[in-house]
Structure formats: C-alpha cells, structure tokens
Chains A and B, each alone.
Chain A
Amino acid sequence: QSVLSQPPSASGNPGQRITISCFGSGSNIGSKPVNWYRQLPGTAPELLIYKDNQRPSGVPDRLSGSKSGTSASLAISGLQSEDEADYYCAVWDDSRRGVVFGGGTKLTVL
C-alpha cells in the first residue's frame, strides 16, 4: 500500500481535460514540493512536473500541476492518444526520510 493515494485508472476522450489526484499527509505533500512522472510501457519514467507546478523544458503547457493542503493534482488538457501512460506523483516524506511514490494512475484515451 502506497503512502500517497492515487486513483488506479482514469480516462478521457481526445481533446478533453482530465485531472489525476494524489492524496498524502502533512509529512509529505502538506510540507514538501510534489513532482509528477509519466511512464510509457517498457520505458523509464519521465519528469513532467516539479516543485508542485513547474514544467521541465520540453513538457508542453497543456500539462499543469497544482497543490492544496495535503493533496496535489496533475491536469492534462487537449488529451491526445500519446498521453496514454502511467502517471505517478512523488514527494519527499519527512517522517520516512525518503521519497515516496503514489501507486500510479493508468490513463486511457478513449
């Protein structure tokens, strides 16, 4: 069981906007910056969002991150077939003195 809770699946039609949530606690999301990763099948993860809402160069602005209290969200607008992937949230946890990941959300583009 993961320290961070994510829905196991999400779906949307091309062009739609979806959000993926990530729930934690005061020792992690509530006090530390959240990052988000995307993983395509058989490949290494890719950083999409760091410091709650910052995008590395090359990540399109239709992806955005936000945080409120002990929960964070990743929003993807203008959904495309290539967005089909597994998405993970992650954050440093002060209690565990390590990084914790969410269980991952499998995004399906219908």
Chain B
Amino acid sequence: EVQLLESGGGLVQPGGSLRLSCAASGFSFSGNAMCWVRQAPGKGLEWISGIGGDETTHYADSVKGRSTISRDNSKNTVYLEMHSLRGEDTAVYYCAKDLWDYAGMDVWGQGTMVTVSS
C-alpha cells in the first residue's frame, strides 16, 4: 500500500523551530519529487516546498530563507525544517508525492498540525 506518514507537529513558540518528517512506503521513493503543502485553519491549500529526485529544491516566498527541505532515500523519508516560526505558520502540514516534474501530487499523508503560539 502506498502511504505517507507525517510526524513532528505540535505547539511551538513564536521564533522557534521544528522539523517535520514524512515516512514513505509502497513506492520507489528515490525517483519521485516530494512536496510539503500546508493549510491554515479555515483557509486554502498553500504549496511551500518541493525536492526533486535529483535533490533540487524549491520554496515558496512565504518560507524561503527560513526553511530547508531534505530527503534521506535510505530511510524513504523527506524532512522540512522551519525556523523563525510565526503565527501565520500555524497550519496542517501535508507531505505529498509528486507524479513527475511537479505535474501533480497523487499521494498525500494525513497531515500534521503545527501551532505557533506562546
């Protein structure tokens, strides 16, 4: 079964940092681009970062400079580190598998909630 399982969410103070993980199973992980998409409470979807099979990375302006996406193909896991967190980063963070070359995300995790609050 193709599956993505996120972890690492929780309550973080403003200015703090966190690392989200996404463990993949059931498909050839190393060949696929992987993305992180978030959804603030009551809001729409926002793509924030992607990493290709060749480890090329891309970021949305909203997180650029304070986020790092990475992958460990030996563990079939993709990570998202975020720093200088602020209230507007409060959201459900989804990990998603891309079809190819950012053509569409066909497998999604269940999401992990990140709350930035003092």
Contacting residues, chain A, for B106 (C-beta < 8 A): 47, 50, 56
Which residues of chain B from 59 to 81 have a CB within 8 Å of any chain A CB? 59-61
Q: Which residue of A lies closest to B101 (CB)?
A: A92
Q: Do the beta carbons of A44 and B111 come within 8 Å of each other?
A: yes
Is chain A's interface secondary structure helix, strand, loop, or mixed overall?
strand
Choice from B44, B60, B94, B101 contacting A104 with Cβ under 8 Å? B44
Main secondary structure of the interface of B (DSSP, over half): strand
Given contacts A44-B109, A98-B59, A99-B35, contact A50 B46 (CB under 8 A): no
Interface contact A44-B108, CB-CB below 8 Å: yes
Report B62 CB to chain A, min CB distance, Å. 10
- A-binding residues in B (CB < 8 A): 35, 37, 44-47, 50, 58-61, 94, 96, 99, 101-106, 108-111
